């Protein structure tokens, strides 16, 4: 008798005889699906890794994130301070407040001085939001903030100006802004012989390229906002002095601020 009974077969032989054939291309799923499955599994794995990193940053399970976060906050604060565009200090108050919140918060986080996990997560979020807001605000002011150009002002024919006399003002090498705020000062040329400041008024006309802008009857010490009407590399203006007959006045520019 040549045939072997089922009892004589080994367990491995039985499993091989009853096992379903493995699917091959053309018998089961199409090739596109077979090739897409490893890619989808890889994308899911990457997403899980990124999610775990984010969770480990905001949770305190891993202490190794304390120093990197501290370094990030310090680096952004330092960069914002170095890239400070200058100008009137009052426009930077909000930035300094945000930095003042972010720095102590990140120090508390780095030294693990906050006990609860919720507190650690909150203080991390606050420090990152504040320092990023301060950095973005600084970059915004570099493009649209106020710029003090008083040191670039050139004034001609400004001494002992009689009634009807003209003073020429020029601001050279101005940044790209849309408005110029000028503050003009008026003094008596001879304070021992006259007192004509209260009666003196100034007419200012913005000249050069673009639409002329005129402001009349300006008292000394009053800020005037001039729309530049486009980008200018040089701003030119003429000031006409109106004062009592016989008076001579000295005219100067106290401040010149460019802004949007």
- The CATH number of residue 185's host domain is 2.60.120.260
Q: Is 78 contained in some domain?
A: yes
Across 4-18, 23-37, 65-79, 133-147, the highest mean pLDDT is recorded for 133-147
pLDDT value at 190 more than 80: yes
- Residue 193's pLDDT is 85
**Segment 45-83, tens digit of pLDDT:** 666 665 555 555 544 444 555 778 888 889 999 999 998
131 and 156 in a common domain = no
Of 84, 111, 144, the one marking the end of a domain is 144
Q: Are residues 110 and 171 in the same domain?
A: no
Last residue of a domain, one of 92, 123, 144: 144
What confidence tier does 90 reach under pLDDT thresholds 50, 70, 90?
confident
| Lowest mean pLDDT segment, chosen from 5-9, 73-77, 137-141, 230-234 | 5-9
Residues 64 and 110 in one domain: yes
Residue 215, pLDDT above cutoff 50: yes
More confident residue, 46 or 35: 46
- pLDDT at 120 exceeding the cut of 50: yes
pLDDT at 213: 86
Tell me the C-alpha distance between 235 and 15, whole Å.
Answer: 93
Phi and psi dihedrals of 58, rounded to 5? -85, -25
- Mean per-residue pLDDT, 179-208: 91
- Asked if the model's pLDDT at residue 26 lies above 50, the reply is no
The residue out of 93, 126, 144 marking a domain boundary is 144
230-258 mean pLDDT? 90
Phi, then psi, of 186 in degrees rounded to 5: -125, 130
- What are the tokens at 119? 């507190």
In the chain, how many domains are there?
2
Instruction: Output the pLDDT for position 252.
Output: 94
In a domain? residue 53: no
Beta carbons of 249 and 196 less than 8 angstroms apart: yes
Task: Judge whether 222 lies within some domain.
Answer: yes
Question: What does 152-165 look like in DSSP terms, one character per residue?
Answer: GEEEES-SSB-TT-
Examine the pLDDT at 100 and tell me if it is beyond 60. Answer: yes
Average pLDDT along the chain: 79
Half-sphere exposure of 127 (CA within 13 A, CB side): 27
Domain that holds residue 134: 59-144
Pairwise pLDDT comparison (14 vs 212), residue with the higher score: 212
pTM of the model: 0.60
Question: What is the predicted pLDDT for the residue at 174?
Answer: 79
């Amino acid at each position: 008798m040549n045939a072997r009974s089922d009892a004589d077969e080994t367990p491995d032989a039985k499993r091989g005889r009853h096992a379903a054939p493995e699917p091959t291309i053309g018998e089961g799923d199409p090739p596109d699906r077979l090739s897409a499955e490893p890619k989808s599994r890889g994308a899911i794995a990457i997403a899980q890794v990124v999610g775990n990193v984010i969770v480990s940053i905001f949770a305190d399970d891993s202490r190794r994130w304390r120093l990197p976060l501290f370094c990030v906050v310090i680096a952004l604060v330092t960069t914002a301070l170095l890239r400070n565009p200058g100008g009137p200090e009052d426009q930077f108050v909000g930035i300094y407040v945000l930095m003042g919140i972010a720095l102590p918060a990140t120090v508390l986080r780095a030294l693990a001085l906050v006990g609860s996990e919720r507190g650690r997560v909150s203080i991390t979020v606050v420090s990152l939001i504040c320092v990023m807001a301060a950095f973005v605000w600084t970059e915004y002011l570099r493009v649209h903030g106020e710029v003090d150009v008083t040191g670039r002002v050139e004034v001609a024919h400004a001494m002992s100006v009689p009634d009807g006399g003209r003073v020429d003002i020029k601001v050279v090498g101005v940044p790209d802004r849309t408005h110029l705020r000028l503050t003009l000062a008026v003094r008596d040329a001879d304070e021992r012989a006259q007192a004509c400041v209260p009666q003196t008024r100034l007419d200012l006309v913005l000249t050069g390229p673009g639409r002329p802008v005129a402001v009349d009857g300006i008292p000394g010490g009053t800020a005037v906002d001039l729309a530049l009407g486009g980008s200018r590399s040089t701003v030119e203006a003429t000031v006409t002095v109106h004062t009592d007959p016989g008076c001579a006045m000295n005219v100067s520019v106290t401040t010149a601020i460019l802004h949007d």
